[in-house]
């Protein structure tokens, strides 16, 4: 009986550890994606502003 309880506790601990690692990776990926998005938007805004200043 004790081994079953320890086995279930170990399985729960492994699942929580894996989920924690996945969410940590997703958090880092979200920050990197947000930085890339803001950088691309800023680059596009600066590029479009410079194009409007030039006569066509």
Residue 40 has pLDDT above 70, yes or no: yes
**What is the distance, to the nearest Å, from the Cα of residue 5 to the centroid of all Cα atoms in its chain?**
35
**What is the distance, to the nearest Å, from the Cα of residue 43 to the centroid of all Cα atoms in its chain?**
22
Q: What is the DSSP letter of 49?
A: H
Query: 26: pLDDT confidence band, cut at 50, 70 and 90?
Result: very high
Q: Is 3 exposed, middle or buried (0-12, 13-18, 19+ CB in 10 A)?
A: exposed
Residue 49: what pLDDT?
77
Residue 27 has pLDDT above 60, yes or no: yes
């Amino acid at each position: 009986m004790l081994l079953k309880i320890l086995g279930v506790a170990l399985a729960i601990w492994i699942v929580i550890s894996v989920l924690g690692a996945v969410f940590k990776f997703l958090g880092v990926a979200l920050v990197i994606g947000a930085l890339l998005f803001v950088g691309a938007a800023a680059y596009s805004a600066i590029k479009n502003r410079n194009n409007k200043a030039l006569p066509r």
